[in-house]
Structure 1
Amino acid sequence: MKNYQIGDIASIMHVPTSTIRYYDKQGLLPFAKRDLNGRRIFNENDLNYIEVIDCLKQSGIPIKDISHFMTWCLEGDSTLNQRFDFIEEHEAILEDEIKNLQAQLAFLRWKKWYYSRAKEAGTETINFETGTSHVQPELRSIYEAEIAHS
């Protein structure tokens, strides 16, 4: 089995070495071994664990929760239910966050289109009902029709 040093892991994971050191200091890498010079060495299995840790961290999961998850991983099959439930719970949280972000992005795209029209006309009033500062009620439908055909 191939061994990796911290720089190798960082390069494979596209993260700074400080990230791997941080994970180790937080107790997330209890499996990490040291060579005779005190340098951390990892194997393929360790790399798999680090990929999981990094994914969970990038997903916004707190370190203490990742630590619990990693403990379950190292405990083996007796914790499969806890690990499944953990992943399922955080999957649902991420899906909700993605839906929220998609809604925010859709709104920003609408406003970008809105301001693009105003910029082209040289005035925001192009988007208003005549003689008011109220956005034309049908404007959103016009926008949605345009993006549906593009």
Structure 2
Amino acid sequence: MTDTPTPQSPDPADPTWWQQAARGTLIERMGIVLVEVGAQRTVATMPVAGNTQPFGLLHGGASAALGETLGSVAAQVHAGPGRTVVGIELGATHHRAAREGVVTGTATAVHLGRTTASYEIVVTDDRDRRVSTVRLTCLILDRG
């Protein structure tokens, strides 16, 4: 038996449902908190503390993981019931360092198709300066 709640009828636009579903996952361990969920736009925050490389800077992989989380959640909302998504391409450009505070990721749909969904995810610091730009494409699959 698992401690992770899995509601029978998820509301894909409810950030609270996603936070419950993320219990025990990388999302929870990294402190990612979903603020807004939708197919066109999804937003989350993540603390810098605990997600740094040895020199105290936000780890580039943490920015990439935040981006993949946001794009995947948004793509799943787009895909709808009975379908699932998997990331098939991820790229990130790191523009500036973050040493403290919280970063915010905003995923914006670039393409919402029948079989793929692509997103640009902009990660900004507490002063609204761009830290990273992440690009994600997801493949949409029928559950079977």
Structure 1 length as normaliser, TM-score? 0.21
Which one has more relative contact order, counting CA pairs under 8 Å at least 6 apart? 2
Structure with a larger share of its residues in helix: 1
Structure with a larger share of its residues in strand: 2
Structure 2 length as normaliser, TM-score? 0.22
